[in-house]
Amino acid sequence: MRPTIAEVDLDALSYNYNQLRGIVGKDVAAAPVIKADAYGHGAVRVSARLEKEGADMFIVAFVEEGIELREAGIKTPILIAGAFLPEDAAHIIRWNLTPVVFTISQVDALDSSAKRFDRRINVHIKVDTGMGRLGLAPEDLAGFAGEIMRRKNIVTEGIMTHFAQADIEDNEFAIRQLNVFNGVLGELRRKGINPPVIHAANSAAIICLKESHFNMVRPGLMLYGVFPIDKKWDISLKPVMSLRSKVVQVKRVPEGSSVGYAKSFIAGRESLIATIPIGYADGYSRRLSNSGNVIIKGKKAPVAGNVCMDMTMVDVTDHQGVCVGDDVILIGQQGDELIAAEDLARLTGTIPYEILSCIGKRVPRVYRG
């Protein structure tokens, strides 16, 4: 019943997916990234639409995210790309998930659980080529892959790495990582180890580092209509999410009056202040205090004062006839005015990933298309 909603355009999602298919071609598999509730868009609804579009695999971070998709009826293979503990192995087997592995304790637990379930399980090996997070050191990869081959219940379906810096125009470090990855692939092949699925490319690398496509790519941010790098490329993407609310009060305040916590906004003239029922508990960052804008009646209005937990105030003095119930756009377009997730990211010193994924659960998702 809240007037604040996040509207998700599933037709725009399909459009972006088909733009991706046009970039990578029919011979490269696509594994959309659905982690973090599909970057705040709703993992179940997003994966259901992309399953109809023919996605080859879905990627989540944690076991519980994979289980959520399976319980919702998703049949497409699901890769658990984040960390899991050995005690999670039975859940992985039971729910037919594909884990990424990089420790022997993970492999032993999976092998034991698969034996109990009388099944074989596919795994992908992760090699750390420069991210410094999860994964095997390149020099340890061949020995680790050999250990997996000695387990009767485990099949090495894939090998992967993760770029640390593919989302900037200077991709020197990404190329260095790619060279390391190609080197370890060559070493595996010389030892007779040939995982059928090879993947490295995130959204940025899909767009600007085509030699990293191999035979599967992992699109994330681009599917949701946000360019992963500032430079515009020769493709078209449509924003999938808009964040909307309504005016719940319009108040005239005298010159010199303060608005909000800490009196951070002082009216320099008699002002008209509109209050909107969304705040930092909903994911509208407090860092937008006195710096963000919203769109009301086709015109931008500045945030006045500190963003509160549940409310945000904006200055509509220069607007005509703002009333209770008027639509407010916090992310999206109204008339000729546009506020994109990238705009909020620049204002708050962060990245669009955080802007989208932090829109809270108490903001209802409304699906179009």
> Which tokens belong to 42?
């709703």
Catalytic site residue from 115, 238, 261, 300 = 261
Is 35 one of the annotated active-site residues of the chain?
A: yes
Query: Can you tell me the distance from the alpha carbon of 67 to that of 161, in angstroms, rounded to the nearest whole number?
Result: 24
Q: Catalytic site residue 353? A: no
**Is the distance from CB of 161 to CB of 198 less than 8 angstroms?**
no
CB 266 within 8 A of CB 256: yes
Catalytic residue among 15, 17, 35, 246: 35
| Beta bridge partners of residue 367, listed in sequence order | 8
Burial class (CB in 10 A: 0-12, 13-18, 19+), 329: buried
Q: Which residues are catalytic?
A: 35, 261
